[in-house]
Amino acid sequence: MTVGARIAILNPNTTAAFTERLAALGRRLAAPDTIILARSPLHGVASVECHVDEAVATLGLLGVVAEEEAFGTNAYVLACFGDTGIEAVREIAAGPVVGMTEAALSAASIVADHFCIVTLPPRTVIHAERVVRRLGLAYRCRVRAIDVAVDDCVALDRSLLDAMIAESRRGLEQDGAAAVILGCAGLSELVAPMREALGVPVIEGVGIALKLAEGLVANGVATSKRGAYAAPPRGWPPA
């Protein structure tokens, strides 16, 4: 295995509590010789809940990734449901950039025939469906939502867990889902109690994305620089 792969977990929002959780999760899961960083933009939005938030967050991410490239970072995990700005990040990254949403979908597709996403708040269904469609999995995955703001996820209190479990149950019963994807970063503490309550795999995308990023580095697979993800013609930051 590659020695000393440096992988940056990118939190596109500025909420430090989330970034810290992501760092802790990453360090717990990473291989012994992987160097894990969790980074977020200095300025931006406290959470990503709409396309305007995505626009702000994407520019912030580009700044962070430009710095990381200078350090020779080997791979990135994009830790925001909907994989905000991932195409732009791919253009300036040499190594692979793995979105938590696409990683979660790949994992779910491996362990279940039909599955569902439970995201929040309801207006972000469009962002999740963007990735589901991009991977052609709409026929196996329904996107469901609970009416909770991302800010309310900081506390991880009981009502959040209850709402996630109730909506997941609807997915199991109405959609034939056999696995559930957590539709928000930073909720890895919910995995165990939800799996316990539901009896099916509960998938948290950041952890999967991290191991997939390690795997791509180990296999020498980097972002293709032919076509859509080639370096920007004017570079970044623009000259």
Stretch that binds its own copies, among 15-23, 25-33, 152-160, 161-169 (CB under 8 A): 25-33
Exactly one of 117, 120, 164, 212 binds its own copies (CB under 8 A); that residue is 212
Q: What is the rounded end-to-end Cα distance, in angstroms, of the chain? A: 37
Exactly one of 23, 29, 35, 156 binds its own copies (CB under 8 A); that residue is 29
Looking at the DSSP bridge assignments, the partners of residue 180 are: 116, 202
* 137 forms part of the interface with its own copies (CB under 8 A): yes
Exactly one of 24, 67, 122, 157 binds its own copies (CB under 8 A); that residue is 122
Residue 51 or 166: which CB sits closer to its own copies?
Answer: 51
* 68 forms part of the interface with its own copies (CB under 8 A): no
Token code pair at residue 208:
């999967």
Separation between Cα atoms, residue 115 and residue 171, nearest integer Å: 8
Separation between Cα atoms, residue 210 and residue 206, nearest integer Å: 6
Exactly one of 11, 15, 58, 101 binds its own copies (CB under 8 A); that residue is 58
Token code pair at residue 140:
């196996």
Residue 17 or 149: which CB sits closer to its own copies?
Answer: 149
- Asked if residues 65 and 93 have their Cβ atoms less than 8 Å apart, the reply is yes
CB atoms within 10 A of CB 87: 11
Stretch that binds its own copies, among 10-18, 156-164, 191-199 (CB under 8 A): 191-199
* 147 forms part of the interface with its own copies (CB under 8 A): no
* 12 forms part of the interface with its own copies (CB under 8 A): no
Which 89-118 residues touch its own copies, going by CB under 8 A? 90-92, 96-99, 102, 106-107, 109-114
* 48 forms part of the interface with its own copies (CB under 8 A): no
Residue 4 or 220: which CB sits closer to its own copies?
Answer: 220
Backbone angles phi, psi at 175, to 5 degrees: -105, -5
Q: How far is the CB of 224 from its own copies (least distance, A)?
A: 4
Exactly one of 17, 138, 155, 166 binds its own copies (CB under 8 A); that residue is 138
Please classify residue 182 by burial: count the beta carbons closer than 10 Å to its beta carbon, then call 0-12 exposed, 13-18 middle and 19+ buried: buried
Separation between Cα atoms, residue 91 and residue 6, nearest integer Å: 19
Please give the size of the binding site for its own copies, defined by CB under 8 A.
Answer: 88
- Asked if residues 128 and 119 have their Cβ atoms less than 8 Å apart, the reply is yes
Task: State the residue for tokens 């520019």.
Answer: 59
Exactly one of 5, 182, 194, 203 binds its own copies (CB under 8 A); that residue is 203
Looking at the DSSP bridge assignments, the partners of residue 202 are: 180
- Asked if residues 132 and 105 have their Cβ atoms less than 8 Å apart, the reply is yes
Exactly one of 4, 32, 158, 239 binds its own copies (CB under 8 A); that residue is 32
